[in-house]
Structure 1
Amino acid sequence: DSLRVIDGMHRLRAAQRRGATTIAVRYFDGDEREAFVLSVRLNSAHGLPLTLADRKNAALRIINYHPEWSDRSIAGLVGISDKTVGAIRRREGDKLPQLTSRIGRDNESYPLNAMQGRLRASELFRQNPDASTREVARLAEISATTAKDVRNRLLRGDDPVPPKQRERQGGTAQPVRPAQPVRPAPARTARARRPSAVELSRLRTDPSLRMSESGRTLLRWLEALGSNEGEWAAIADSVPSHCAPAVAEMARRRADDWQSFAMALDRRVRITSV
């Protein structure tokens, strides 16, 4: 009702300065809180970047609007680290309602008890020992470092929750050994990890893949992964040394993306086979 501009103020001013009397708009129907969250989300994605002070102020305002949102959710929305959001939240202290859970970036509700996050991570690792620590950390709403520690504890057959943490959070102080330790997945050779020429040929002839844009995109990705060891080595040697760290990090991230994609396909196979 206020006709206040949520996003696009610079475009509006530019139109006014060139003498335009009308401008195309998209109306937003919502309250003040929803409008503010939307404006922050849009400004984080494009346009003139918000200053660090602006982002912290935005995080503070959103924390008060939505205390049930997780630090990671707000951090991703505003464009600061989840640790910074946590520090802002702690400064608010008793001004905020005392909750037992928060809503993560996937809109799922997660308990605030750190022990529960470790237990969720341990269950995810047991279900899929090949899962990456980054994927498990995202699903369990814990840090990647904590997820890695959980994996290492399970590999040793230890309790995924350190005894001192159990004591602090009211659990038993005695280590609880898992019934069956998570074992590392069998080592696979580089040749086994790459799609074979036969597999690629079979997929290329599948009409359900060839006749859809998403299917053709997938085939192009798989064909790129079909390079042999010599080609990978030659490409690695051609990367300038000053670019190598960035390229290596991007490759690791892509590996995590493919792992997440494989997990999604595995879940789909399990669901359809039931």
Structure 2
Amino acid sequence: MLTTSRTSRGEPAERTPAGRPAGAGETRVWLDVATLRGGLSPRVNGVNTAYVRQLAELAQELPPLVVHRDTLRVVDGTHRLEAARARGDHRVRVVFFDGTDSEAFVAAVRMNSAHGRPLAPADRTAAVERILASEPERSDRWIATVCGVAPRTVAGLRRRSTADGARLNTRIGKDGRRRPVSAAEGRRTAAAILSGSPATSLREVARRADISVGTALDVRRSLAAAKEEKTLAHRTAPAPAVTVRATPPAGEPDETGARKRLEALQRDPSLQYTERGRALLQLVSATLGFLDQAGEVADTAPAHCREALRTVALACADGWRGLGEQLDAR
């Protein structure tokens, strides 16, 4: 239900119902068209005169414009403003947007994407580049949602825009939380902290390593499991000289060595040209590829799913370890 109040000019100012775009003020007021200006539209080709004529010929009243309160620039409704001017209207109804210039532009992209003439691909690309320049800390997925493009498109434009500049180590996601671009470094830092001082609280570890408390807990559990496995292996180790296990080259991480071995396997004709061989290569490639995303999965997994996921992850790890032992025995 709409209610009315009085503006400083004496005209009734309507209250919008719930559901206005985020950031838009509620009170509709009348403003002189001569006081309004552009600059926030995401449309790179400017005003479409044919569309302005169509709007100007409509008999019904057009929706109010959204205007940035501080600068009186039009956030949403540039074509409606030009239509009002074409009809000779001296005033238009507006609602105010309160926020920074960059927030106003984001709102303009959201509103133009939600109604009216669709944004052209060039408009969306330009919008992505402008937001990357003003808010580089925003995540690829957040910007993609605002501009109506794929996250990989944002990632490509980000790489191009930051090729010669500094890269941020954290991003702000759709939920407003700041997260590291890669959790791997944070997990390594947390492991070093917990190895040197096991009694450090998870909250303190998370703060110092710039990771979530859940990730810090996962690192602590992983260290405990590794320690327990090492102790068990020491107790049940067979007599020496039965089996000699190959060790990775000095200074080379196991994961790096595994990837190099996989590349060699992918060139092996006995695997490359058989159905079972290709299936095995695909499975191994998927597993190694997942390692890069393990930290992100651990950070974003819902709390009620973590224990079940942990059980599944450990079972998968045991399965791969068992396969390695069988191959070693043969």
Q: TM-score range by the shorter chain?
A: 0.3 to 0.5
TM score, norm. by length of structure 2? 0.38
- Higher Cα Rg, which structure: 2
More strand per residue: 2
What is the TM-score normalised by the length of structure 1? 0.45
More helix by share: 1
